[in-house]
Structure 1
Amino acid sequence: MKRKLVIGDIHGGFKALTQIIERSKVTADDQLIFLGDYVDGWSESSQIITFLIELSKKQDCIFIKGNHDAWCEDWLSGGDTPNVWLFNGGQKTIESYEGYSPDEQEKHLEFFQRMKNYYVDDENRLFIHAGYSSMHGPEKEVYSSNYRWDRTLWETAVSMDKKLKKSSELYPKRLLLYKEIFIGHTPTIDLGSNEPLNNANIWNLDTGAAYTGALSIMDVDTKEFWQSDPLPALYPDEMGRNSDR
């Protein structure tokens, strides 16, 4: 049976990506939706991109672009290397590209350029890296950077009164636009959870793989999920992004 599986922020943890694909028993019939931030953190960012390029040739995949992916895209296109990127995992990403030919780097750049800002499926479920601020949805967003940076959508859901009904005038209009919303970007470990979190109709799949948490993959329909080992256990000689917290 075909499943729709959504994957949280990977941040250079190729070993974790391999684990969740194995543990969730991904088949060629499954659709995979990646929520972004493939790079920056652990040491195998470029290996992840190479793997995903090949995976997309035989698997139905949707790739959402995260804020870290936008930084990496700028660098691959010959842009600057801002300190804010280097200090937030970018240096590890650059190091992972040592030995790559210009042609190989160009293929990776084209992959980043093809990534989506967001995706809406046939059941009106939104998949986006961070969020949006427009009351009319992401297609009306004035600043495209909000797709990759906005935290107000998640913060709104977290702070809501759980007893608030959708029929209430106080219910956030942004949340009523979609049946469900799947995001990454804001680690659930910041709220004390190592697992995907649900508030209102939003599911947060960033379970802290960049730091001390694990990488997660979830069946969109059943909400069953699988996780990798904690990333520090997979990369015991590395710091990930723990050094920039």
Structure 2
Amino acid sequence: MKRTLVIGDIHGGFKALQQVFERANVTENDQLIFLGDYVDGWSESSQIIQFLIELSEKQECIFIKGNHDAFAEDWFSSRETPGVWLYNGGKKTVESYADYSPENLKLHLEFFQRMKNYYVDEENRLFIHAGYSSMHGPEREVYSSNYRWDRTLWETAVAMDKKLSRNSNLYPKRLLLYKEIFIGHTPTLHLGVKIPIMKANIWNLDTGAAFTGALSIMDVNTKEFWQSDPLPSLYPAERGRNK
């Protein structure tokens, strides 16, 4: 039976991705939606991108672009290394590409360039890395960087009164546009939660794989989810994005 599985922020943790694929028993029949931030943090960013390129040749995959992916794409294009990027995990990404040929680097750049800003499925479910600020939805967003950086969508959902009805005039208009919204970008660890969490109609799949958390994958229909081991246990000699 075909499933639609959504995957949270990976941040260079290829071992974690392999674990959740095995634990979720991912097959070629499954549709896979990745919420972005494939790189930066742990040491296997280039291996992840190569794996995803090959995976997309075998089954249906949708790749959303995260803020860290945008940083990496800029580096592929210009070879410039902004200090803020290196400090926030980019150094590990650069190191992982040390032995890549110009031809393979070009293939990986083209993969980043093909990533989507967001995706809406046939059931009006939105998949986006971070969020959007426009009350008319991401297609009317003035600042495209919000797809990758916005936190106000999630913060709004977290701060909402649980008793507020969708029929209320006070219910945020941005949230009424979609049946469900799936995001990454803001670790659930900030709320003291280690698993995917739902606020209003938003599911947050970033369970802190860049730091001390695990990588998560979820069946969007049943809401069953699987997690890797915490990333520090998979990379004991590394620190990820922990400072």
- TM-score per shorter chain, which class? over 0.9
Q: Secondary structure at the match of 1:77?
A: helix
CA RMSD of aligned residues (A): 0.5
Match of 1:89 in 2: 89
Q: Which runs of 5+ in 2 are unaligned?
A: none
1:136 is matched with: 136
Partner of 2:107: 107
- Paired AA for residue 114 in structure 1: R
Pairing 1:71–2:96 present: no
1:73-102 deviations in whole A, cap 9, x for unaligned?
000012421111010000010000011000
> Which residue pairs with 1:160 in the alignment?
160
Match of 1:51 in 2: 51
CA distance in 2: counterparts of 1:221 and 1:70, whole angstroms:
29
Deviations 1:39-97 (A, max 9, x none): 00000000000000000000100000000000000000124211110100000100000
Give 1:195's aligned residue: 195
AA paired with 1:63?
A: F
One-letter amino acid matched to 2:218: M
Match of 1:121 in 2: 121
Q: Per-residue displacement from partner, 1:103-140 (whole Å, max 9, x unpaired)? A: 00000000000000000000000000000000100000
Q: Which amino acid aligns with 1:157?
A: A
Residue 37 (structure 1) aligns with: 37
SS of structure 1 residue aligned to 2:181 = strand
Amino acid at match of 2:178: Y
Secondary structure at 2:212 match in 1: coil
3-state SS in 2 of match to 1:127: strand
Q: Is 2:196 the partner of 1:179?
A: no
Q: Distance in 2 between matches of 1:239 and 1:127?
A: 29
**Secondary structure of residue in 2 paired with 1:242:** coil
Letter in 1 for 2:112: F
Residue 25 of structure 2 is matched in structure 1 by: 25
User: Taking every aligned residue pair, what percent have the same amino acid on both sides?
Assistant: 80
Deviations 1:178-227 (A, max 9, x none): 00000000000110001001000000000000000000000000000000
Query: Which amino acid is the alignment partner of residue 154 of structure 1?
Result: W
Q: Distance in 2 between matches of 1:88 and 1:177?
A: 33
Runs of at least 4 residues off by over 6 Å = none
Please give the secondary structure, in 2, of the residue aligned with 1:69: helix
Alignment TM-score, normalising by the size of structure 1: 0.99
- Unaligned 5+ segments in structure 1 are none
